[in-house]
Amino acid sequence: MSGAAVELLADLVRTPSPSGREGAAAELLAGWAAARGLQAAVDDAAVRLDLSGPAAGPTLLFASHLDTVPPGEGWSVDPFAGVVTAGRLTGRGAVDAKASVAAMAAAAAALADGGGPASGRLIVLATYAEETRDTTMPRALERLGGEPAAAVVGEPTSLAPCVAQRGQLLLKLSWRGEQLHAGWAAQRRPPPANAIRLAARDLAALDGLRFERRHPLLGEVVVTPTLLEAGVARNVTPPRCEAVLDIRTTPCYGHAEITAAVAAWVAAEVEVLSDRLLPAATPEGSALLAAFVRVRPEAEPVASPTCSDWTFLRHLDALKLGPGDSRRSHTADEWVELAEVEEAARLYLDLAREVLG
């Protein structure tokens, strides 16, 4: 397995795959895997690598994604050159999440080279459009032909087992005011309702909204205003003001409960823009986490503030695990340590052998 994950990662980074245009990278991955004895299939939802043992047993899913965000600006190198210097590979997707894809595929190939699992089935899924609202993960899961017993979500965690991640709830708040000439507004009694002033009071008051139930690793629910729009002209009182709240949630609260709490706290109309990205957590008594601890007893569980496709696997025994620092995701000069990518491949392999024999 030596070097396989790094070589595959370099090829994947050099094959641009922004969300919606993953075809070339998908064919590259499938061809690489087929040449190494894995069953490989490509469709409009994922690349699926499949390896079964001779005896009945559980299905273990390794799931990550092939797509990346656009390169953006500020790079010191070509974002698709896969530049390697001082033991680091720099390029778009190096961390999020082609390093996980490459390491998972390399682990599956090494498992096949060693005769395959003693029992059960290993599936590697590399899906598309994860970085958008059109992720193909739900469709890919429907096509597996049965539900996995456990799943590892390939995202950058610096190889620490991530046992909880935040969800995301997006709310739009709307305030209504009265539109008139600003010059006459001061003389009106009572003064006209000003949508911007109403919004300012409510947005400031949100600092006092507290969600008392704290997750042991994620902490409390976090409410952040991220967008604000109001006004029709400089000399007209605003008839409407709208704001968007980005709420990072925890498994301690349902999204409907949080929405109701916000609606009761503000004097605004509240509309749910998105509530599909629910928080996720590894279940109590997780057999997968116990298997991980047996192969890496020194590792300390962590939690993640970022969302991922784990939300679609949250009903399973699952955790998030992958090479790279999540804080480098989506940045210019995104990079990953090559030694960590190889260590990830060994870790995935050890975990597969521990679960499947």
Question: Where would I find the H helices in the chain?
Answer: 4-13, 23-34, 99-113, 137-142, 182-185, 195-205, 255-265, 287-295, 338-356
Going by pLDDT thresholds of 50, 70 and 90, the confidence category of residue 2 is low
HSE toward the beta carbon, residue 281, CA cutoff 13 A: 13
Number of other residues whose CB lies within 10 A of the CB of residue 323 = 31
4-165+279-356 topology per CATH: Aminopeptidase (3.40.630)
Helix, strand and coil content of the chain, in percent to the nearest 5, comes to: 30, 30, 40
pTM for the whole structure: 0.90
> What DSSP element (H or E) covers 222?
strand 222-230
For residue 217, pLDDT beyond 80 = yes
CATH 3.30.70.360 segments of the chain: 167-275
pLDDT tens for each residue of 53-73? 999 999 999 999 999 999 999
Residue whose token pair is 């087929």: 34
pLDDT value, residue 1: 57
d(CA 46, CA 219) in angstroms, rounded, equals 34
Give CATH 3.40.630.10 domain extents, the chain.
4-165+279-356
- Region 281-305: mean pLDDT is 96
In this prediction, residues 39-66 reach a mean pLDDT of 97
**CATH T-level fold of 167-275:** Alpha-Beta Plaits (3.30.70)
pLDDT at 24: 98
User: What is the average pLDDT value for the chain, to the nearest integer?
Assistant: 96
pLDDT tens for residues 139-198? 999 999 889 999 999 999 999 999 999 999 999 999 999 999 988 887 888 888 999 999
What average pLDDT does the segment 118-137 reach? 96
pLDDT at 44 over 80: yes
pLDDT in tens, 70-124: 999 999 999 999 999 999 999 999 999 999 999 999 999 999 999 999 999 999 9
